[in-house]
Structure 1
């Protein structure tokens, strides 16, 4: 448990450092062009970079919500530590991605674009428009109503599905985003969330439940 959380914390720290480097580069670019002209290298609203930043920000927001929900519904320290780690990491990453959209001068919400359309082909949004891994309102209500072991198992199952969807989207950015800090962050998400998926499978087995 300690090793896995330490690796995830390392990924979060690395992401913050990368974001600071990116912010510095963006500030220099803005100063160089007088602050009013878009740099030729700035992503467009239809780019994979912008699409990933928008969609993963929404995806992360639900992970943060679910993590805070379970922390209030169990006394199990292992689950509470995992939930805190996920909430902290994904809230930080979400702030970074929204900051990038600000620096690029792009909207954080795009009503005229289907989620994950930037991935091209079969991007696998569900019939109700939810991105892969996103919990439904009924599932969130069930988590709100649960407590103890029931809440732990439901959270671990929902978060496993959520991470699987997040890995799918992050891998899309690894393949399509420009080389640089955003693609590096996406690869860090793939690595960290795959590690947490394995951890949660072990935690479910310890509780006599299947993933």
Structure 2
């Protein structure tokens, strides 16, 4: 009875080798030579596989691998129930002109317009995205500005409601230079706030909404966790 061994896709019969389904009968004198070839080819295949595996290990995660990771995290989150599953989806900003607003957030802050779509009652939406942060720009058919005189920070906080958008940046001086090069007026420029332990830059968008940059550092991260800048 012939015995069959599976090695790297190569089937080796006791009396006849078969490569990819093609059977070839050889004499006894050629069998040892053929077996040596199989061993050499097998060693080459192992070396090639190892080299490929090493090269793949050095490559960054593929899109599919990243999606798999995100799906795994999503499944974990979906197992939570009620308010335990709470996640921030987006920030909605009502604007006077949707074209001008989407252009401002694109040109000044580097957001990407994902899509525009109509909503209820003649309202139109423009979804902006940057680094997985989403801002919904909303245009009502007849927008009304109830705050014609905008106050400088921190006095703007006297009026209740959503008062500002805050973004982290790694290098606030570089961010300031980019904004000024794009014609953005800075109300605050790298103002150090002791209670936060970091520098803050503040400016307004095209409709007067206050936007701020916080420079990311250990002090502000600790403040967000404990309410103190030092551990």
TM-score by length of 2: 0.24
| Structure with bigger RCO (C-alpha 8 Å, 6+ apart) | 1
TM-score by length of 1: 0.26
Greater share of helix residues, 1 or 2? 1
Greater share of strand residues, 1 or 2? 2
